[in-house]
Amino acid sequence: MIMATPADRHIPVGEPMHTDFSRIDLSGADLGLATPAHVREAAKRALDEGATHYTTRPGLDSLRQAVAAKLAHANGIMVKPDGEVLITCGSQEALFITLHVLLNPGDHVLIPQPANPAYAALARQAHGRVFAVPGDPAHGFALDVAGLARRVTKRTRMLVFASPASPAGTVVDEANLQRIADFAIAHDLLVVADESLEPFVYDGAVHRSIASLPGMAERTVTINGFSHPYAMHGWRVGYVAGPARLLAPITQLKQALSICSPAVSQYAAVAAIEGSQAPVAEALQVAAERRSCAVAALTEAGIPHIRPAAGLDVLVDARALQRTGADLARWVARHSNVVLGSGAVYCPSTASWLRLGLTHPAPVIREAVGRLGPLYGSSRMTEVS
């Protein structure tokens, strides 16, 4: 769902508004929740028991077994703990080693946008050539399968995408996921699927892993982690899963880069994945409440936006403010004392958009949106599908 923008919206001009209220920062990507108690306790026990040395290089046996079991029952992805699961220092390292190993210089990479800017940056570092596939704001920036077909070449080797995806909060539905799978098979592409935001889906949306579809397990590397669902951002632990022929060289680069992930973090991750999943449900509830508050407040204030079906952000349409890039975010902060993320970091299509992170409780989000309203003038908008 997006908001329609009147062409004759009044745009405030002139000197910055001098405000005496405190600054609200909604530019982050962390709900700010505490790591669950049973996870912290597991880390303490591990330290007390001497877990301060290297682990098995691909990761603790117990953690790789737990990840493989989770992927089987929750995602329909069948992988062996040995050789097909690699524990990494978060999903960022997972992306780095995967792209640097699987891309050869000059390989073409398809990246639907808006997307995590690390995808394109890492692909270019690996000497790949990025072919961006821009989404249409009129359709909520949903992944455009037809757009993939328009940009594929004889040198295209890889598709990198996320579902659920940030910042637009899109989830690829089952029909489109099958179309993407058919496309990847037809063009013999490797697929890197970032599923780091897996639990955070709303309004009945359902996440499904592309590696679970027929013909995809042998060509897909799935990346996930513990940061968002278990509030473990600072623990730096994630994983890569996929066929042994792809994981073997990726594991070699991981070992050359960081030997193994921190032992204490791995023991904490075992507790997270094998223990109570109530903290994940609680994190989803917190995110859902903040998201509902943000959407309601933006609608009431007449601020155009995309209603996210997933993720931890709300993408705000600021084209009416007639500014782009970092200047837009700075101008909004100067006039409202509200700091939002710049859409320019994701792709040119979102250069005049802002990312509102669900980083604060509902009352703070409501206050922030109330400050943004005057920037858009007094007109109101109607939400349309």
Structure tokens that stand for 372 in this block? 């943004």
Count, in order, helices (H) and strands (E) of the chain. Answer: 13, 13
Q: CB-based contacts of 356: which residues, under 8 Å, 6+ apart? A: 26, 294, 298, 305, 313, 314, 315, 316, 340, 341, 365, 368, 369
Count CB-CB contacts under 10 A for residue 275: 16
Q: How confident is the model at residue 371 (pLDDT cuts 50, 70, 90)?
A: very high
pTM of the model: 0.89
pLDDT above 70 covers a percentage of the chain that reads 92
User: Parallel, antiparallel, or unpaired: how do β-strands 353-357 and 238-241 relate?
Assistant: unpaired
16 has a pLDDT exceeding 60: no
pLDDT higher than threshold 80 for residue 38:
yes
| Tens-place pLDDT, residues 308-363 | 999 999 999 999 998 998 899 999 999 999 999 999 999 999 999 999 999 999 99
> What is the rounded distance in angstroms from the CA atom of residue 185 to the CA atom of residue 99?
19
pLDDT in tens, 197-219: 999 999 999 999 999 999 999 99
pLDDT band at 21 (very low <50, low <70, confident <90, very high): low
- Note the pLDDT tens digit of each residue in 117-162: 999 999 999 999 999 999 999 999 999 899 999 999 999 999 999 9
Looking at residue 325, its pLDDT comes to 87
Element at 24 (helix H, strand E):
strand 24-26
**Full set of structural domains in the chain with CATH:** 2-33+279-384 (3.90.1150.10), 37-274 (3.40.640.10)
Q: Report residue 164's pLDDT band, with 50, 70 and 90 as the boundaries.
A: very high
- Give strand pairing partners of 342: 354
